[in-house]
Amino acid sequence: MYREFEPARTDAVRCLWTSTKVGAQRVVPDTCVDIIWNGTDLLVAGPDTEAFVTQSTGTGFGVRFQPGVAPGLLGVPAHAIANARVPLAEFWPHDRVQRLLDEVHGGNPGQALLNSVRSAEPDDFAALVTRLVTDHDVRHIAEDLGITERHLHRKCLATFGYGPKTLHRIMRFSDALELVYAGKPFTEVAYACGYADQAHLSRDVKALAGATLTTLVQEADVTL
């Protein structure tokens, strides 16, 4: 079972999550970065552009940041950790990581993870771009921000791990999956999320998730 919990009083964290799944688990792109406790190690899961298959032990806890928040907290541009799983100790001092390890072993890993990132702050650039990218092309976004398209792309790489076109594609994919998991018909989902048709939705899902929509539904064991 995979479950998500919305934490109170924070604009920087999207959710806390737990997973009791055992064995192979498909993780699909969602524009976010996570700090994960897998029962043994503390890891940073960078922003993905394709599915990541991991072996789960049945003990999984994570804190998932809003898009663009993690680079400021970790002190690293998002593109440097894209499609990667990196030990948290590579970003934080040894004593800080050790304190967190002690706390997650203390009996409430989710709360320990949340407490450890209380200093995280929302990113204004990220929030603005994620709003604009849904309805505007790259040229119009750059004009609205008063920067060049090239500068916009560089800032997006550092903030999200990829450019604005990929950001929009993954955001649309994530929206589509939420509707699919809620039981909406695939054709209705394609229309609601702005795909040309169901075939377009299916191609995009296969490219980003490495599986068909039907397979993702069969694999899903999600509580939001």
- Residues 31-45 have pLDDT tens digits of 999 999 999 999 999
**40 found inside a domain:** yes
In sequence order, what E strands does the chain have? 2-5, 13-19, 22-27, 34-37, 42-45, 52-57, 60-65, 85-87, 222-223
Does 7 map to a domain?
yes
| Residue 21 covered by a domain | yes
pLDDT at 95: 97
Domain count of the fold of the chain: 1
pLDDT recorded at residue 222:
54
Q: What is the pLDDT of residue 10?
A: 80
pLDDT of residue 7: 86
* pLDDT for the residue numbered 208: 97
pLDDT for 221: 65
Domain range for 56:
2-116
pLDDT of 115 reads 94
Q: Which residue ranges of the chain lie beneath pLDDT 70?
A: 221-224
Q: Model pTM?
A: 0.93
Amino acid sitting at position 161: G
8 found inside a domain: yes
